[in-house]
Amino acid sequence: MMRKTISNSLIAATLGLGSLAAQAQVQITEWLYNTSEFIEFTNLGSTAVDFSGWSFDDDSRLAGVVNLSGFGLVGAGESVILAESDAADFRAAWGLAASVKVIGNNGTNLGRADEINLFDGAGQLVDRLTYGDQARGTVRADTRSGNPLSLADLQQTTPTRWVLASDGDAFGSRLSLDGGIGNPGQFALAVPEPSSYALLIGGLALLAGVARRRAK
């Protein structure tokens, strides 16, 4: 069946119908470790979010470990990148424009079975992704990035329904100069033909009422 890409503007507009706080609409939307390691965060809300004081940590779950203030104001639908390599080198490897916000030289590296924690300026958990590769039913994103197939998949703390990127896939994935495959810098979902968009949009009203991923 023919597949298309849903634009960031459609995602932002539909999620904007909900009453969730702006920071709660920032989600972990892609990750890759080992080869060309990076984490992508996307503002899926309808208003910009100020990342001043925001931070990242892995499975130690401590706010303030890696400062994300350098992202500044992240607009609706905008994706930003935390990378292991230098920011300029990362952009060159993936062919990204200078306008894509990248914080490089991340020393809190991800491992084969690890966790991604995103905290806001008050130190509150915004989003968490806990993966464990095939042994725990999740993808092994060591050379190819992990991507959600639907907005509902973003509600998963353990990404069991996420899939690996492949060169030229519906997410717009490509091969980087250092051997990784992914689509950092622009979040997109592979969705059915436009005739099914109405079902997707209708379902978002329900998603807006679902509690965000939180620590149990």
pLDDT, tens only, 101-131: 999 999 999 998 999 999 999 999 999 999 9
Confidence category of residue 133, pLDDT binned at 50, 70, 90: confident
> Would you say residue 214 lies in a domain?
no
Compute φ and ψ for 46, nearest 5 degrees: -100, 0
d(CA 125, CA 115): 13
Q: What is the CATH number of the domain that holds 85?
A: 2.60.40.1260
Q: What is the pLDDT of residue 2?
A: 34
Radius of gyration, CA atoms only, the chain = 16
**Cβ within 8 Å of residue 199, ≥6 positions away:** none
Confidence category of residue 194, pLDDT binned at 50, 70, 90: very low
> Would you say residue 212 lies in a domain?
no
Please state the domain count of the chain: 1
Range of the domain at 187: 4-207
Q: Is the pLDDT of residue 202 over 50?
A: no
Q: Which of 11, 36, 6 is nearest to 26 (CA)?
A: 11
pTM here is: 0.80
> Would you say residue 35 lies in a domain?
yes
92 φ/ψ sector (left φ>0, alpha ψ -120 to 50, else beta): alpha
Confidence category of residue 197, pLDDT binned at 50, 70, 90: very low
> Would you say residue 11 lies in a domain?
yes
> Would you say residue 215 lies in a domain?
no
Compute φ and ψ for 26, nearest 5 degrees: -85, 125
Other Cβ atoms closer than 10 A to 194: 9
> Would you say residue 115 lies in a domain?
yes
> Would you say residue 41 lies in a domain?
yes
Mean pLDDT of 191-212: 44
d(CA 164, CA 138): 10
